[in-house]
Structure 1
Amino acid sequence: MTKSPVLLAFGGLLAMAAGIGIGRFVYTPILPPMVAALGLTKSQAGLIASANFVGYLAGALLAALRLPGTRRTWLLAALAVNVACLAAMGLTDSLSLFLLLRLVAGLASAFILIFASALVLDRLAVAGRSGLSALHFAGVGTGIALSAALVSTSSDWRAMWFASAALALLASLAVVALVPADPARAAGSTEPHRPARLSTRFLVLAAAYGLFGFGYIITATFIVAMVRGTAEIAGLEPYIWVMFGLSAAPSVALWTRLGVRWGILATFAVAAIVEAIGVAASALWITAATVVLSSIFVGGTFMGLTALGLIAAREGEGDPRGRIALMTASFSAGQILGPTFAGYIYDLTGSLAGPSWCAVAALVVAAGLCVAIKR
C-alpha cells in the first residue's frame, strides 16, 4: 500500500478516470455508432443518458448515509460494478437493459466520486499536501481523453464498450494498490454534527448549480453526434471528445486558483459565461472552428464549475453534508432533464440548436444568480 502523497493522488486520479471519465462519459463517443447500428432515436439516446444521471443522483444521496463497512470497501465494490456495467452494455441491444445498466453505472460512479475523494483528500490534508487534490480531480478529464482515444480505434459499438471496460478494469486494479485501507473510518460518518442551515443565499446558489447542470450536459452528451451528423467535419469525430477530455484535465486547478484570487462566486460566474460561449458556438453553426471552440470551452469549464459550486456550498453554518447533498440533487436534476429534453426536441425539429440555446440561457442565468449573491 502506498504512503506517498503523490502516488495516493495518482490513485485518486485513476479512480476518477475509471468511474467518471470512462464509466460516466464514454457514452458520448459510443453514442453515434450505437444510434447508427440500432436505429435509436435521439429521444431514446437522451433517455439512456438521463438514466445514468438518475443513478448518479441516487448514489450521491445513498453515499451520504451511514453505511456499514469502510469507505475503501465501498470504493472498490463500486469500481467493480462500474466495470461490469460497461462490459454488459456490449452484450445486449435491449433499450430496457441499456436504461438499467446505465442507471446502476450512474449509482456506482457517484460512490466512486464520493468515496475516492473522501479517502484521498482526507489523507492529502493530513499530509499537508492538499494542493495535490487538483491531480485527483484531473482524473475525469484524463479518463475522457484516454477512453475517447481508445474507442476511436474501432467502429463497432460493442467492441467500444468492451474496450472501455478493459481500460476501467486496469485503472481499478491500480487503485487497489495505490489507495490504502481506511479501517479507522466507516463509510458513513458517525461524528455528531449540527444540521446545516439553508439560507436564501444557499438556495439561490443551488438553483444556479442546477442551471449549470442543465447548461453543460446537452453539449457534453451530443457534441460527437453533432460532428458525425455534419458531413463537412465528420472527420473530426475521433478527435473532438479527446480534446474535450484534455481540456477538462487541468481545469479544476485553473478555476480553483482563480477562485482564490477573484472569489468563488465571481469565478463561478465567469466560468459559466465562458461555458455559455462554448455552447453557443455549436448552436450558431456547426463548423470545424465552432466545435473545437465548444469542446475546449465546455470541456475546460464543467469540472471547474463542479468544484467551485461544492466549495461554495461548504461555506455556512452547521455540517456541510446536507448542503452538498442538496447541491448534488439540484445539479443532477439539471443533468437528468437536459439530454431527455434535447432528444425529444431533436426528434420534433431535426435540430439541437433550440435545446442548445436553452442551455446558453440557463448558464447566463446561473452566472447572474452568482453575481446577485455576491452583491
Structure 2
Amino acid sequence: MTQSPAAERPILVAAAGAITMAAAMGFGRFFYTPVLPGMMIDLPLSAADAGLIAAGNFAGYLAGAMLAAYGWAAGRERPLAISALGLTGLLLAAMAFTSSLPLFIFIRFLAGLASAFAMIFTASIVLPYAAGKPAVQSVFFAGVGTGIAVSSLVALLINGFAGDAAHGWRWNWLAGALLVILATVIITLRLPKPRAGHRPAREPPIAWTRPLVLLTASYGLFGFGYVVTATFLVAIARLSAAGPLVEFFAWFVTGIAAAVSLFLWRPVARKIGVERVYLVCLLVEAIGVVASVLMPPVAGTLLGGLALGLTFITITAYGLQIGGRLAPQSPRRALAFMTVAFGCGQIVGPLVAGWATQWSGSFTLASIIAALVLMISLALMLPLAGRVSGY
C-alpha cells in the first residue's frame, strides 16, 4: 500500500500507533478488568480462577514479546501488526462463547501473544518517527490509557443495556471485539511502512553491571506490584458494593490518567531526572494500591485508579529508558531481559493475588502484598537516585 507524505507525518503516525495501542492493550489486555466482576458472579469464577485467567494472558504477552525479539519479522512488521490486531479482536469475541476455565486461560494466552505482537511491531514502525520529538512517543503510549478509558465506557453502557452486569459480560466481549476489528481497519489504512534504514545492527553480549541488575530486579517486582490493582480494581469496587458508577469511574479515571501521564511527568523528569521520577511513581503507585482497599470504597477505588493510571506507563517507559542508558552497547538486549523480568512479575502477581483473596475472603491481603513488593522495587532503585538525567 502506497503511503502519502501526509500519512507519514510523525504526529499522524503516532496517532495511528495510538489506535493500535488502544485496541491491543486497552482492550486486548486490560478489558478483562471491567468485564471480570460480571464473569465472577455469573459463571461463577473464584478469585483464584480469575488470577489464573489473568496469568494466562500475561504469559502469552511474555511469550509474544520474546518471540518478537528475534529477527524473523524484519520487513514484515506492518502486516504482522495488522494481522495480530485482527486476531486480538477475534479472540475477544471467542471469550463470549465459552464458560470453560481451561478455554478462558487458553484464549487469553493467545490474546496476550497477539497483543504483544501488535504492540511491538507497531512500536518498531512508530518510534523511529519519535527521534527528537518526545510528543510522538507520548501520543503513541497515550493510546493505552485512551483504550482503558473507552473500555470502561463500553462496559458501563453494555451493563446498563443488559440490565445486569452479571449477564452482560458476554456482550462486553463482543462489543470489545467489534471495536478492535474497527481499529484494525483504520490502521490498515493509516499505518505506514517501516522507515528505510532502521534495521537494527547485531549487539554484543550484555555487560551485567550492578545498576543494571538492580534495575532489572526492580522492574520485575514492579510487574508484580502494579498488576494486582490493574487486574482486580473493578472487582475490588464490586466486592465493596461501591456501585456501578464507581466501578466505571475507577477504571475510566485510570485510563484518562494513563493517557496524559507521560505528558505530565515529562517536565518533572527534565528537572529531577527519569531515575527519580521512576522512584516517585513507584511510591505513588504503592500508596494507591493500599488506598484501594483500606480507604472508604468510593474514595479508595477512585484514588487507586488515579494512582495506577498516573504511574504504570511512566514507570514502564522510563524504566526501559534507564535500562538502555545502563547498557549503551546492548540496549535492546537490556530491554529484552527487563521485559522478561517484568513479564514474570505480571504472571506471578495475579496468581498470588487470586490465592491470597481466595484464602482471606477479600482483596486486602493481596493489595498489601503488592504494595510491599512495590516498596522493595523502590528500595532496589535507591542507589540510582543520585543520577540526574533529563528526559
With structure 2 as the length reference, what TM-score do the two structures score? 0.91
Q: Specify the alignment match of 2:379 in structure 1.
A: 368
Query: Could you tell me which of 146, 157, 160 is aligned with 2:150?
Result: 146
Q: Specify the alignment match of 2:288 in structure 1.
A: 278
Unaligned runs of 5+ in 2: 160-167, 387-391
**1:179 pairs with 2:179:** no
Q: Is contact 2:293–2:301 with CA below 8 Å preserved after alignment?
A: no
Q: Secondary structure at the match of 1:358?
A: helix
**1:240 pairs with 2:234:** no
Q: Is contact 1:15–1:171 with CA below 8 Å preserved after alignment?
A: yes
Query: Could you tell me which of 350, 353, 358 is aligned with 1:342?
Result: 353
One-letter amino acid of the structure 1 residue matched with residue 46 of structure 2? T
One-letter amino acid of the structure 1 residue matched with residue 51 of structure 2? G
Q: Specify the alignment match of 1:313 in structure 2.
A: 323
1:75-86 equivalences under 5 Å are 75-86=81-92
Distance 2:12 2:377 in 1: 37
1:297-336 equivalences under 5 Å are 297-315=307-325, 316-336=327-347
Q: Kindly provide the CA deviation profile for residues 26-78 of structure 1, in whole angstroms up to 9, marking residues without a partner as x.
A: 00000001111101111000100010100111111111101144211211121
**1:99 pairs with 2:105:** yes
One-letter amino acid of the structure 2 residue matched with residue 314 of structure 1? G
**1:33 pairs with 2:21:** no
Q: Secondary structure at the match of 2:72?
A: coil
Q: Specify the alignment match of 2:57 in structure 1.
A: 52
Distance 1:130 1:250 in 2: 13
Deviation at 1:274, TM superposition (A): 0.7
Q: Specify the alignment match of 2:162 in structure 1.
A: none
Distance 1:267 1:76 in 2: 34
**1:18 pairs with 2:28:** no
Query: Could you tell me which of 112, 116, 130 is aligned with 2:122?
Result: 116
Distance 1:165 1:374, change over 3 A: same
Q: Is contact 1:121–1:130 with CA below 8 Å preserved after alignment?
A: no
**1:258 pairs with 2:268:** yes
Deviation at 1:234, TM superposition (A): 4.9
Q: What is the alpha-carbon root mean square deviation over aligned residues?
A: 1.6
Distance 2:258 2:228 in 1: 16
Q: Specify the alignment match of 1:356 in structure 2.
A: 367
Q: Kindly provide the CA deviation profile for residues 247-302 of structure 1, in whole angstroms up to 9, marking residues without a partner as x.
A: 11011222344223211211100110011110110232342112111110111111
1:197-212 equivalences under 5 Å are 197-212=207-222
Distance 1:317 1:182 in 2: 24
Distance 1:232 1:266, change over 3 A: closer
Q: Is contact 1:259–1:308 with CA below 8 Å preserved after alignment?
A: no
One-letter amino acid of the structure 2 residue matched with residue 281 of structure 1? A
Q: Is contact 1:70–1:185 with CA below 8 Å preserved after alignment?
A: no
Distance 1:292 1:183 in 2: 42
Unaligned runs of 5+ in 1: none
Distance 1:25 1:206 in 2: 24
Q: Secondary structure at the match of 1:301?
A: helix
**Identity across aligned pairs (percent)?**
40
Distance 1:256 1:326, change over 3 A: farther
Q: Secondary structure at the match of 2:157?
A: coil
**1:65 pairs with 2:70:** yes
One-letter amino acid of the structure 1 residue matched with residue 93 of structure 2? A
Q: Secondary structure at the match of 2:207?
A: coil
Count of residue pairs the alignment pairs up: 371
Query: Could you tell me which of 224, 230, 249 is aligned with 1:220?
Result: 230
Deviation at 1:183, TM superposition (A): 7.6
